[in-house]
Chain A
Amino acid sequence: MKIRPYGDTLNDGKIQLSFTLPLPCNAHGEETAKALVQKMGIHDVQIVHASPLNATFSFYIVYGTTHHQIDPTTITVTEIDSDTLTKSEIEAFIATHFDRPITFIGASTGTDAHTVGIDAIMNMKGYAGHYGLERYKGIQAINLGSQVENETLLEEAIKHNADVILISQTVTQKDVHIQNLTSFIELLEAEGKRDDFIVIIGGARINHALAKELGYDAGFGPKKYAYHVASFAVHLLKQKKDA
């Protein structure tokens, strides 16, 4: 079964785009925009709006029909495969399988000063009605705050005998988060500590696939809360213990 985008008739392939070109806004600019969109596999291209941003840049809103189609059954997603438990299920799981509290240590690292994300996961209050890890029985949550150096985070994790390290990254411009996250993994490996911790990342532009690619155990993006993270972590910790 193959599908196309939907406008008002199944598989009509309708699609909308908007972008800026480094060209003056005139007939030549419009034709260039059209040709570019055609190259994307879109036909019946209509430049429905064109406006100058200044003397040498122009903005276009475009509708068209894509001739590409896709078979959704061929698409796979890198997803976290552990079950998601509720807060009380997680607390019960910890009580059953561990004879000690689980320590989570977290920070917003590098030059990143955004704390709302890591606080949402770790602090008592939580976010959007979901309590944070600090409120979980059987979990010790240590939030180091923002602008924490990778070296400091690792030192603190070792000092507190942490089971799980949580890293939040919000600023992604020029891939600053990739550099920072890569250097943390390198640091762990250089110190021979990679297997001592479960390491999880999160942030508005983070997903699980990216986390795996960078060598982390998991990654969580928007609309993910403490119970998602804790479910994943306690399952993996148990696996590690049983292994």
Chain B
Amino acid sequence: MKLNLNQTQINRCRARAKTIADTIQTFIDQSTTVSVERTILRFLSIDGVNPLDVPYVNVITDHIIAEADLSLGVAHYLSLAIEDTGLTPQEIAQAIDQKQLSLKPYQTKTHPNHSLLYPTIEEQLNRVNKQRRIREKTLAENPKKSTPELYVIVATGNIYEDIEQALSAAHKGADIIAVIRTTGQSLLDFVPYGPTTEGFGGTMATQENFKLMRQALDDFTTSHQRYIKLVNYASGLCMPEIAAIGALERLDMMLNDSLYGIIFRDINMQRTFIDQYFSRLISAYAGITINTGEDNYLTTSDAYEHAHTVLASQFINEQFAKNALMEERFMGLGHAYEIDPNLENSFLYELAQAELSKAIFPNAPLKYMPPTKHMTGDIFKGLIQNALFNIVAVTSHQSIHLLGMLTEAIHTPFMSDRALAIDNATYIAKAFKDFSHEISYRPDGIIMNRANDVLHQAETLLKTIQEEGLFTTLEKGRFAGISRKLNAGKGLDGVFKKAPSYENPVMTRLIERLKEGNHED
């Protein structure tokens, strides 16, 4: 192995991370959330918004919370209501909205007949599966390149403008397009509806926007024989709902990380761990690659001193994904090139960290973030910072290569910024193509020592987290230097302890289908 790492030590880290994730899982298994329940309703084919733009899935959960008890789960009420009224789930939602129907009487009834729900759920899961097969087939038809996949963002706020920008980037050589979400969407407790043209620093994630962008990229694939992957955010308060929409509309990647929401958006930790589990099950089934957000820790804490927090968090995120039955090839664990450029040998430390991640998670498509924090208005220097980052990305064989923008400190990317970034990365991928096979690292040199140091510190941190529990770790602010409380933050009022009779038929079927390992319909 290139870095001469201690495999037993790595195994110990994994074992600790597993205990950490399993402890949280015990809590997750006892609870549900409004967004989990709304996701079930989406799998029951409930769609659309009422005349006040409130999604029908919210109409139902709001109604149950106000009039009855959500801890029984929406499946309880819907099964009984279907049996009783003969209406479809969508008709039930509309009737509730028009105050023609109340679910309250079903609260005290027992033995709901869930088999009334299964046909619709099977149909929806088959739709997801079909999308997965289209992706796999198209990817198999297109040769995979040996250098990292180039990932760029679009963020105009207007989906139609985003499409223009995305196609332009695809023409230039981008492999992956992420539509960044508008500021504040992560804190909305509903998913907006329809195509949208106004956003700040990004564009609304809506099912229609997903569909429009997917269609445009598919058209590109048809004309250019190159599959372009589409990315959005299954994060924030609607994590599993967006995962569901993305699975139905064939997104290929989803940013998906509770830790990011807790730390950077002040989302309540109980809420988002529960949401994350369901969203990862959905993505695991849909063959969607998740992207985790460890890179962000380094925007608020120092990248040299806190490199081990990134590694420790990757270990934990890996176990959360495993608990959601996700294959390693879909775990886009995050890390970043964020060391202060004024530090001597910063390039060597970056290379050490990138090689370390790759060595520890060889089957995971690592998501490698470019410099952001230390980018300044000096765009000329910025281009060089990005070039060094690109060299590390190619040399250490990263998979998902987020391209740095020379104007990072100024604005969300212009079309030309993105083109310059793609040119930069393409040039370096070519120039350094086989560089990694020509070099080895000096035993006891700076790179090897650094990698081993970081691993060692990560192990110590994992030990602490295992002892104190992840909830406490987050309360103590060990990640990113930001402390969050177990019973504070956004979305806590949407957490419910499951009633003894609670059932989530979508989750049941997802787990069964994942365990059967076959995706046939």
Contacts and interface: CB of A to CB of B under 8 A. Distances in A.
A63 interface: no
Interface in B405-432: 409, 411-412, 414-416, 419
A114 B307 CA distance: 21
A173 B201 CA distance: 6
B266 to A, nearest CB: 7
A54 B200 contact: no
A18 B407 CA distance: 13
Contacts of B266: 145-147
A116 interface: yes
Given A19-B416, A113-B265, A116-B299, A171 B183 contact: yes
A36 interface: no
B381 interface: no
Contacts, number: 57
B183 A113 contact: yes
Contact of A171 (B201, B409, B414): B201
Nearest to B202: A173
Interface string B249-271: 00000000000000011100000
Contact of B264 (A18, A59, A113, A222): A113
A121 to B, nearest CB: 15
Nearest to A51: B419
A100 interface: no
Contact of A176 (B200, B264, B416): B200
A20 B414 contact: yes
Interface stretch (B165-173, B281-289, B444-452): B165-173
Contacts of A113: 183, 264-265
Contact of B416 (A20, A55, A174): A20
Interface string A164-178: 000000010110100
A53 B414 CA distance: 11
A221 to B, nearest CB: 11
A161 interface: no
Contacts of B377: 222
Nearest to B419: A53
Contacts of A174: 157, 200
A112 interface: yes
A225 B155 CA distance: 31
B411 A173 contact: yes
B443 interface: no
Contacts of A147: 184, 187, 265-266
B9 interface: no
Interface in A30-87: 51, 53-55, 57, 59
A59 B201 contact: no
A173 to B, nearest CB: 5
A111 interface: yes
B167 A53 contact: no
A8 B167 CA distance: 41
A147 B267 CA distance: 12
Interface string A116-139: 100100000000000000000000
Contact of B415 (A20, A112, A116): A20
Given A20-B414, A116-B300, A111 B167 contact: no
B482 to A, nearest CB: 8
Among B183, B265, B299, B415, find the residue whose CB has the most chain A CB atoms closer than 10 A. Answer: B183
A53 B413 CA distance: 14
A55 B412 CA distance: 22
A38 to B, nearest CB: 21
A19 B414 CA distance: 10
A116 to B, nearest CB: 6
Contacts of A112: 183
A51 to B, nearest CB: 8
Nearest to A112: B183
A176 B171 contact: no
Contacts of B482: 115
B75 to A, nearest CB: 34
Contacts of B200: 111, 171, 173-174, 176
Given A116-B300, A147-B266, A176-B200, A54 B167 contact: yes
Contacts of A54: 167-168, 171-172
Nearest to B156: A173
Given A112-B183, A113-B265, A204 B416 contact: no
Interface in A221-243: 222
B412 A57 contact: no
Nearest to A58: B416
Contacts of B419: 51, 53, 59
B367 to A, nearest CB: 20
Contact of B172 (A19, A53, A111, A171): A53
A147 B416 CA distance: 31
Contacts of A59: 416, 419
A181 to B, nearest CB: 14
Among B168, B266, B373, find the residue whose CB has the most chain A CB atoms closer than 10 A. Answer: B168
A128 B412 CA distance: 25
A176 B201 CA distance: 9
A53 B183 contact: no
Among A53, A111, A146, find the residue whose CB has the most chain B CB atoms closer than 10 A. Answer: A53
Interface in B99-120: none
Contacts of B299: 116
Contacts of B416: 18-20, 53, 59
B190 to A, nearest CB: 16
Contacts of B415: 20, 53, 57
Among B411, B415, B416, find the residue whose CB has the most chain A CB atoms closer than 10 A. Answer: B416
Contact of A173 (B157, B187, B373): B157
Contacts of A145: 266
Contacts of A204: 409
Contacts of A173: 155, 157, 200-201, 411-412
Contacts of A19: 416
Nearest to A115: B300
Interface in B285-327: 299-300
A134 to B, nearest CB: 14
Interface string B14-32: 0000000000000000000
B150 to A, nearest CB: 15
Contacts of B168: 53-54, 57
A203 B284 CA distance: 40
Given A18-B416, A55-B171, 18 more contacts: A20-B414, A51-B419, A53-B172, A111-B184, A112-B183, A113-B265, A115-B482, A116-B300, A145-B266, A146-B266, A171-B183, A171-B200, A171-B201, A173-B201, A173-B412, A176-B183, A204-B409, A222-B377
14 contacts: A18-B416, A19-B416, A54-B171, A54-B172, A57-B168, A111-B184, A111-B187, A111-B200, A113-B183, A116-B299, A147-B266, A173-B155, A173-B157, A173-B201
